[in-house]
A and B are shown apart, each in its own frame.
Chain A
Amino acid sequence: MNGILFAILAAALATVLAGIGSAKGVGGAAETAMGVLSEDSSMFGKMLVLTLLPGTQGLYGFIVGFLIMINCGVLGGEAPTLAQGLCYLAASLAIGIGGMISGFAQGKAAVAGISMCAKDDKNFSKAMVSVTLVEIYALLAFIVSLLMVISIPSINM
């Protein structure tokens, strides 16, 4: 038995969990942004930027999922051994869980940023930078997942 099932499960988990985080984050931010836009539609550009900020987690999850698929025979490469498949599963958890929870948190920060920006759009750059402070944790999770996924095919098990 090879580990293809676990590898696919890993790809799915990375994409879905991080995607949930982003979906909730962007969704909440978009709701607030639309409230602001109903008052002043000229803020669209700024609102768009702040709304999209929690969207990166889903992207990171997707990329990890995609790289797993490339490595494990779904889109090329060789089928992994059982141990490798389990390793993929473990590696995907970093961006899956990290991305999901940081997505929730960044969504909340984005909502606050949007409210701040709505009061005075001079606050935009401050809001933007503050919201990206959360991003680093998603990035770290992503990089950990990524480095693991890239190196798993060369581990002999």
Chain B
Amino acid sequence: MARAVSTRRTAVFTIAAWIVALIIFFPILYTIVTSFKSETEAIKGFNLIPSGTVESYAAVQAQSNYFKFFLNSVVISVGSTLLALALAIPAAWSMAFSPTRRTKDILMWMLSTKMMPAVAVLVPIYLIFRDTGLLDTRFGLTVMLTLINLPIVVWMLYTYFREIPGEILEAARMDGAGLLQEIVHVLTPMAVPGIASTLLLNIILAWNESFWTIRLTTTNAAPLTAFIASFSSPQGLFWAKLSAASTLAIAPILIMGWFSQKQLVRGLTFGAVK
């Protein structure tokens, strides 16, 4: 009897999970479906069966060079993630294993910078970029995205590092390991799963960032977010083309997410059920 109830409960939860997943995924699914419609079909109303035309993809490719934007996205998101990790690993180590009275305050302050609306600092940042010649450069955008995502990276790594027993590091120290050796040879290998999920999440965040990537670039460093934005039209039909551009832009990150979902889920739920 108990087993029957348990099976029924499992079935109910499974169905509920599928429904929730479908609701969350539906906008992406409908974007993909719409990308295979003609513009006239796209505006006719809700319809999940497209005619299968690829004219929107052809129009998008004819109008813009997708691969140039794609390359910029890869360089900026991967570059900013690696840079953020290089800065965040020592910072998180220090906060996790040598906390001071102010550690919690610093962590909260770092997080609070994410609460400020980006537009509030648009003009100062723009002026700094102008004066340092960083406007429309991949390097400038890499630095910008590193700084934007650094608080989240530090927080995530801090959470992982706190799970690692400090005694192991102490043992390494007693065996004569220096600070750098301790971080590189002892801490980092033990935290690989956590670092991997932080890396993946940060790449996704950097890939999808649109406020700064659109505003600090023109032609040379413009990533896929700028590519999508160029297909919105004030006068004329554009839904199918916009959907095709969006599908092309999210495809790489969706594929990456699919293959790395285990690490991502592990990373996001780490320490949640302690």
The answer on A and B forming one complex is no
User: Measuring CB to CB, which residues of chain A are less than 8 angstroms from any residue of chain B?
Assistant: none
